[in-house]
Amino acid sequence: MKLKLCSAIGIIALVAPGVVPMAVPAASAVSCAVVERLSPGSVHPGVVCLEQRLIELGYSGISGPDTTYDIGSAAAVMDFQSARGLYADGIVTSVTGRQLGLRGALAPAGAARVTVIGDSTSAAMRWYDEANNNSARYDVMADTYDLLWSVESCRRLVAASCTGRSDPGSGLKWTPVSVLPLMQSTLRGRLGEALVIMAGYDDVSIESAIEQIMAEATAQGVAKVFWLNYRYGGNGYPYSRYYAAHNAALEAAKVRFPNLVVLDWHGYSMSQSPATQADWFSSDQIHITSSGAFALAHYIRGRVDAEHVERCVASRAQTGALDGATGSPAAAVVAEADAGFVGMQPVRVLDTRVAGLGGSGGMMRAGGTVRVDLAGRLPAGASAAALNVTAVAPCGSGYLTVFSCGTRPDTSNVNFAAGRTTAALAIASVTDSAVCIFSFSKVDVVVD
| Contact status, residue 407 vs residue 388, Cβ threshold 8 Å | no
Instruction: Taking residues 405-415, report their average pLDDT.
Output: 89
12 pLDDT more than 50: no
Question: What per-residue confidence (pLDDT) applies to 347?
Answer: 85
| Mean pLDDT, residues 46-53 | 94
SS (H, E, C) the chain: CCCCCCCCCCCCCCCCCCCCCCCCCCHHHCCCCCCCCECCCCECCHHHHHHHHHHHCCCCCCCCCCCECCHHHHHHHHHHHHHCCCCCCCCECHHHHHHHCCCCCCCCCCCCEEEEEECHHHHHHHHHHHHCCCCHHHHHHHCCCEEEEEECCCCCCCCCCCCCCECCCCCCECCCCCHHHHHHCCCCCCCCCEEEEECCCCCCCCHHHHHHHHHHHHHCCCCEEEEECCCCCCCCCHHHHHHHHHHHHHHHHHHHCCCEEEECHHHHHHCCCHHHHHHHECCCCCCECHHHHHHHHHHHHHHHHHCCCCCCCCCCCCCCCCCCCCCCCCCCCCCCCCCCCCCCCCCCCEECCCHHHCCCCCCECCCCEEEEECCCCCCCCCCEEEEEEEEECCCCCEEEEEECCCCCCCCCCEEECCCCCEEEEEEEECECCEEEEEECCCEEEEEC
CA distance 122 to 109: 27
Q: What is the mean pLDDT of residues 298-306?
A: 95
Distance CA 248, CA 103 (A): 41
Query: Which residues on adjacent β-strands are paired with residue 364?
Result: 443
How confident is the model at residue 345, as a pLDDT? 79
pLDDT at residue 235, rounded to an integer: 64
Structural domains in the chain, sorted by start: 10-104 (1.10.101.10), 107-306 (3.40.50.1110), 350-447 (2.60.120)
Q: What is the pLDDT of residues 190-246, one digit of tens each?
A: 999 999 999 999 999 999 999 999 999 988 888 899 999 999 976 667 788 899 999
pLDDT at 64: 82
pLDDT of residue 50: 95
Give the whole-number percent of the chain exceeding pLDDT 70: 83
Instruction: Give the chain's length.
Output: 448
In this structure, are strands 384-392 and 444-447 parallel, antiparallel, or unpaired?
A: antiparallel
pLDDT at 373 over 70: yes
Kindly report the average pLDDT of the chain as a whole number: 83
Nearest by Cα to 198 from 293, 103, 333: 293
Q: Give the pLDDT mean for 256-269.
A: 94
| pLDDT one-digit tens code per residue, 343-367 | 777 889 899 888 778 776 778 888 8
pLDDT at 9: 32
* Degrees, nearest 5: CA angle 159-165-169: 145
pLDDT at 315 over 70: no
Calculate mean pLDDT across residues 85-103.
90
pTM above 0.75, yes or no: no
pLDDT 10s digits, 123-160: 999 999 999 999 999 999 998 999 999 999 999 999 99
pLDDT of amino acid 251? 97
Q: Is the pLDDT of residue 390 over 70?
A: yes
Mean pLDDT of 74-94: 91
**Residue 48, Cβ density class (10 Å: 0-12 exposed, 13-18 middle, ≥19 buried):** middle
Q: What are phi and psi of 392, to 5 degrees?
A: -110, 125
Dist CA 137 CA 398 (whole Å): 32
